[in-house]
């Protein structure tokens, strides 16, 4: 049986991600969701060795209740099912360690669902179904084939629905409670890109230019006049839509420069262009042809894949930080009864 690519990029976007907030996507892929779930449980107080031992006892009835969380119950069957789901999601733990994470994750899920119920945020069956379909698609399966894969791993559909539904509710609770504080800002992403140099190296810039020509025998006065004209053009251009009249006036060498990375640019442009805003013109540069006014007309921000990777990492860190505190607060007020 092959492991399902539950953590594959894009497998868990809008359905299991945080909802949009002020126009910014708060999506988390499934790997982030499961990684967050697993990391949070390590910081929680363990339910107890007796409950875990009962879950591990192969002779124990699967319907033996191990823990009550408010009005919900967690049975031996539930723990075994969650263990199977965690293994399918790629958790490397085995034995007691996996049982502990499974039990704690179930307790946390019921706390999340109870808080969602209190705030009027029920588990959305359609969103869970959409998530299943999305994950199936990213594994090149139909939803029916994906459900069959779950069953082949010993995981019932209801087990999947509980895990995913609880996280959908939790993500909405986080969004309501913390809002924009969870979302990485463009400035934070830009700072990391600058620090690593990776984004700047992969960014692609679409450049156009106006070339004010200088005759081969131009005297200093003619050179000065050409420079002043180039400077005037620079100050006039506010967007690439402003290039038209100048392209008609100086058609010989003006026009598209091309789309290129910093490494592909002429040395004089390598420091200047990354500092430009879209539609902004750089200071005139002189060549044997004349004065070049280079304009930034397009930019692939920091290399989209690199930027998305940084966004996902910052988002998961922010969500983990807020989630740990929030979940611990709810846990202190929850009625958790351990059955010995």
pLDDT by residue (tens digit) across 200-212? 556 789 999 999 9
Say which residue the tokens 């993500």 belong to.
171
Structure confidence by residue, pLDDT tens digits, 1-56: 555 555 433 332 323 333 333 333 333 344 444 444 444 433 344 445 555 555 55
Most confident of 88-97, 122-131, 230-239: 230-239
**What are the tokens at 249?**
């006036």
Cβ neighbours for 87, distance < 8 A, ≥ 6 positions apart: 98, 153
**What are the tokens at 96?**
């007691």
Tell how far CA 201 is from the center of its chain: 21
Which pLDDT does position 6 carry in this prediction? 52
* DSSP SS3 for 211: strand
* Architecture in CATH for domain 18-188+304-338: Orthogonal Bundle (1.10)
Angle between helices 49-56 and 76-88 (to 10 degrees): 80
Which pLDDT does position 319 carry in this prediction? 84
Query: pLDDT category, 187, cuts 50, 70, 90?
Result: confident
Strand partners, 68: 73, 337
Of the chain, the percentage scoring pLDDT greater than 70 comes to: 78
More confident residue, 324 or 30: 324
Q: Is the pLDDT of residue 94 over 80?
A: yes
Backbone φ, ψ for residue 277 (5° rounding): -90, 160
* DSSP SS3 for 281: strand
Q: Is the pLDDT of residue 239 over 60?
A: yes
Name the pTM for this structure.
0.56
Say which residue the tokens 């049982």 belong to.
99
Average pLDDT, the chain: 81
Give the residue extent of every domain in the chain: 18-188+304-338, 204-300
* DSSP SS3 for 68: strand
Which pLDDT does position 215 carry in this prediction? 87
Angle at alpha carbon of residue 233, lines to 231 and 236, rounded to 5°: 110
Which pLDDT does position 333 carry in this prediction? 93
**Alpha-carbon separation of residue 321 from 197, 205, 278 (angstroms):** 27, 36, 35
- 274, 279, 284, 289 alpha-carbon torsion, rounded to 10°: 100
Which pLDDT does position 273 carry in this prediction? 92
H or E element, residue 298:
strand 290-300
* 204-300 under CATH 3.10.50.40, yes or no: yes
Q: How many CA atoms lie within 13 A of 281 on its CB side?
A: 26
- 313, 175, 67, 131 alpha-carbon torsion, rounded to 10°: -70
Distance CA 234, CA 293 (A): 6
* Alpha helices by DSSP H, 57-138: 76-88, 95-118, 125-138
> Phi-psi bin for 248: left (phi > 0), alpha (psi -120 to 50), beta?
alpha
- Per CATH, 18-188+304-338 and 204-300 having the same topology is answered no
Structure confidence by residue, pLDDT tens digits, 114-164: 999 999 998 888 989 988 888 888 878 899 999 998 999 999 999 999 999
Mean pLDDT over 189-206 rounds to 70
Handedness of CA 139, 141, 142, 145 (dihedral sign): negative
Mean pLDDT over 163-178 rounds to 91
Other beta carbons within 10 angstroms of residue 326's beta carbon come to: 17
């Amino acid at each position: 049986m092959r492991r399902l690519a539950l953590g594959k990029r894009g497998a868990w976007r809008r359905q299991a991600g945080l909802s949009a907030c002020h126009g910014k996507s708060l999506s988390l892929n499934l790997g982030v969701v499961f990684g967050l779930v697993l990391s949070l449980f390590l910081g929680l107080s363990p339910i107890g060795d007796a409950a875990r031992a009962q879950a591990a006892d192969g002779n124990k009835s699967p319907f033996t209740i191990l823990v009550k969380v408010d009005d919900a119950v967690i049975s031996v069957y539930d723990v075994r099912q969650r263990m199977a789901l965690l293994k399918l999601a790629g958790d490397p733990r085995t034995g007691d360690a996996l049982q502990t994470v499974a039990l704690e994750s179930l307790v946390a899920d019921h706390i999340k669902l109870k808080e969602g119920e209190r705030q009027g945020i029920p588990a959305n069956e359609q969103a869970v179904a959409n998530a299943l379909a999305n994950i199936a698609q990213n594994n090149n399966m139909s939803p029916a084939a994906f459900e069959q894969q779950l069953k082949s791993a010993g995981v019932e559909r209801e087990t999947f629905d509980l895990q995913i539904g609880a996280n959908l509710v939790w993500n909405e609770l986080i969004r309501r409670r913390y809002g924009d504080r969870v979302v990485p800002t463009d400035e934070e992403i830009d700072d990391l890109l600058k620090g690593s140099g990776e984004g700047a190296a992969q960014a692609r810039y679409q450049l156009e230019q106006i070339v004010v020509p200088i005759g081969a025998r131009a005297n200093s006065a003619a050179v000065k006049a050409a420079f002043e004209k180039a400077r005037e053009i620079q100050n006039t251009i506010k967007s690439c839509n402003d290039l038209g009249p100048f392209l008609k006036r100086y058609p010989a060498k003006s026009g598209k420069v091309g789309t290129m990375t910093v490494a592909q640019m002429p040395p004089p442009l390598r420091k200047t262009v990354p500092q430009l805003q879209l539609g902004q013109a750089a200071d005139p540069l002189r060549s044997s042809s004349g004065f070049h006014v280079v304009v930034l007309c397009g930019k692939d921000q920091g290399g989209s894949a690199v930027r998305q990777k940084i966004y996902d990492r910052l988002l998961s860190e922010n969500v983990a930080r807020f989630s740990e505190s929030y979940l611990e607060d709810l846990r202190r007020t929850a009625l958790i009864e351990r059955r010995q």
